[in-house]
């Protein structure tokens, strides 16, 4: 494997769609019973495990959730692969949940700023981030995260629980630590998972890491002592009811347009139907749209991959844009001879914020920016109004509606 410059030294995530497809092809036969039995076991870096390790790719949609589930169900009946399908849908659920409650992301950012300003023991935070607390497992995961840009999902839960309930550190600072180092950093999945561990996401319900559970699911590698024996839920003002999703009008794809590809969706080939009047495309590789050095570098190399694929698929000029500005977008649209720009809908996060700021500037330049939401999100997101238990009951019906079985 060729190491992409700027990625963690021990990363195992080549930033390309083909790498994602190859990994999915190798995993799909094991996505049934082997995954169900071994999904909670973290054997450690460099050792084979039961999980797919597709998260860096799906977080940028180098490969889509629909592709993953379709491939898995080509190998197994739904009942056999249900646990893995649900794991994929957790990401979809988190995205939809936050999209209908965007103020929870704003609240996280405010909490993060407040936690930084009120932090009393800066040394405790530094020790936690550099893996110097003396807690077996926790220190190893801190080092593994920085070194590889990845952690097993169960290790993320243990880590967050120890951070909050054993070390007594602010949960928002832990979520920020993950965002700065995870290659698969994602506003919804990361923030809401930390909230869930803390007892905020499902009010009153926390996740407590225990020595026995860690020892069992790390195959005896770690048996940390001195962990918190209780996990008192954190509290906050009520979140309130979900807001309805804002409906998006279907664009007229017969009208000439420029396609804007962002790090939220690097599979432009499957976004639009054949025959759309695309006159050109730009792929945004702006570092401001990603978190952390490893995540930014992964995105930038993946953006190059998207440029090559889009040019081959659409047969039109495709350019990379290292800085996403209204002036540069307007110039690209004018060069393509169009007044319309289409882009994949960006859920809550830095890309959505950037596009919201660009749209009025583009209007003043006589150019419209139109988001396109994938059928997968249109079908699943409205069901994320309550907890995941209610959401997962809808999965078979929605998959059938999408023609996936």
Phi-psi region of 136 (alpha: psi -120 to 50; beta: other; left: phi over 0): beta
Inside any domain, residue 11: no
31-89 pLDDT per residue, tens: 999 999 999 999 999 899 999 999 999 999 999 999 999 999 999 999 999 999 999 99
Residues 292 and 360 in one domain: yes
Q: What's the pLDDT tens digit per position in 305-323?
A: 999 999 999 999 999 999 9
Say what angle helices 103-118 and 171-181 make with each other, to 10 degrees: 100
Average pLDDT over residues 210-220: 98
3-state SS record for 325-369: CHHHHHHHHHHHCCCEEEEECCCCCHHHHHHHHHHHHHHHCCCEE
pLDDT range class, residue 1, cuts 50, 70, 90: very low
Give me the CATH number covering residue 275: 3.40.50.620
In a domain, 104, yes or no: no
Give the strand order in the sheet containing 318-321. Answer: 318-321, 278-284, 257-261, 340-344, 368-372
Whether 230 has a pLDDT exceeding 50, the answer reads yes
Indicate if 90 and 46 belong to the same structural domain: yes
Q: What is the count of structural domains for the chain?
A: 3
Boundaries of domain holding 91: 17-99+381-401
In a domain, 183, yes or no: yes
Angle made by CA atoms 363, 364, 368, in degrees to the nearest 5: 15
Is residue 109 in a domain? Answer: no
- If pLDDT is split at 50, 70 and 90, which confidence band does 211 have? very high
Q: What percentage of the chain exceeds 90 in pLDDT?
A: 95
Q: Is residue 246 part of a domain?
A: no
- Same domain for 64 and 25: yes
Residues 212, 295, single domain; the answer is no
Give how far the C-alpha of residue 243 lies from the chain's centroid of Cα atoms, to the nearest Å: 22
Do 74 and 154 share a domain, yes or no?
no
pLDDT given for residue 12 in this prediction:
87
Q: List CB contacts of 220: < 8 A, sequence separation 6 or more.
A: none
In terms of domains, do 51 and 123 share one? Answer: no
pLDDT tens string 105-147 = 999 999 999 999 999 999 999 999 999 999 999 999 999 999 9
- Whether 269 is covered by a domain: the verdict is yes
**The two three-digit tokens of residue 7, written as one number:** 């990625």
Cα–Cα distance list, 201 to 5, 55, 224 (Å): 37, 22, 27
- Residue 8 vs residue 158, higher pLDDT: 158
């Amino acid at each position: 494997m060729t190491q992409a410059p700027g990625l963690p030294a021990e990363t195992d995530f080549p930033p390309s769609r083909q790498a994602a497809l190859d990994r999915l092809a190798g995993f799909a036969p094991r996505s049934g019973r082997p995954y169900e039995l071994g999904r909670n076991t973290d054997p450690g870096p460099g050792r084979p495990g039961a999980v797919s390790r597709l998260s860096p790719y799906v977080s940028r949609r180098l490969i889509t959730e629909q592709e993953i589930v379709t491939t898995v169900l080509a190998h197994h009946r739904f009942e056999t692969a249900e646990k893995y399908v649900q794991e994929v849908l957790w990401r979809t659920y988190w995205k939809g949940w936050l999209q209908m409650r965007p103020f929870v992301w704003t609240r996280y950012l405010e909490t993060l700023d407040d936690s930084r300003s009120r932090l009393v023991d800066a040394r405790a935070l530094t020790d936690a981030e550099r893996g110097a607390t003396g807690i077996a497992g926790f220190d190893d995961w801190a080092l593994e995260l920085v070194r590889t840009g990845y952690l097993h999902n169960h290790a993320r839960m243990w880590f967050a629980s120890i951070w909050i309930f054993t070390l007594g550190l602010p949960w928002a600072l832990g979520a920020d630590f993950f965002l700065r180092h995870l290659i698969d950093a994602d506003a919804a999945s990361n923030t809401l998972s930390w909230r869930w561990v803390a007892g905020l996401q499902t009010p009153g319900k926390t996740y407590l890491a225990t020595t026995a559970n860690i020892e069992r699911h790390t195959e005896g590698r770690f048996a940390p002592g001195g962990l918190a024996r209780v996990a008192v839920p954190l509290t906050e003002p009520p979140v309130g009811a979900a807001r309805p999703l804002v409906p998006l009008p279907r664009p007229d794809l017969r009208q000439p347009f420029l396609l804007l590809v962002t790090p939220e969706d690097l599979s432009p080939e499957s976004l639009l139907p054949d025959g759309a009047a695309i006159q050109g495309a730009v792929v945004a590789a702006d570092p401001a749209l990603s978190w952390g050095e490893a995540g930014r570098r992964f995105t930038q190399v993946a953006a190059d991959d998207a440029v090559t694929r889009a040019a081959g698929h659409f047969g039109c000029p495709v350019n990379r844009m290292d800085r996403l500005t209204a002036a540069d977008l307007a110039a690209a649209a004018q060069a393509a001879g169009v007044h319309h720009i289409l882009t994949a809908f960006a859920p809550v996060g830095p890309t959505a914020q950037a596009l919201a700021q660009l749209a009025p500037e583009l209007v003043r330049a006589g150019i419209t920016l139109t988001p396109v939401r994938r059928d997968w999100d249109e079908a699943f997101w409205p069901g994320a109004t309550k907890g995941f238990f209610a959401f997962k009951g809808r999965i078979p019906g929605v998959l059938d509606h999408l023609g996936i079985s």
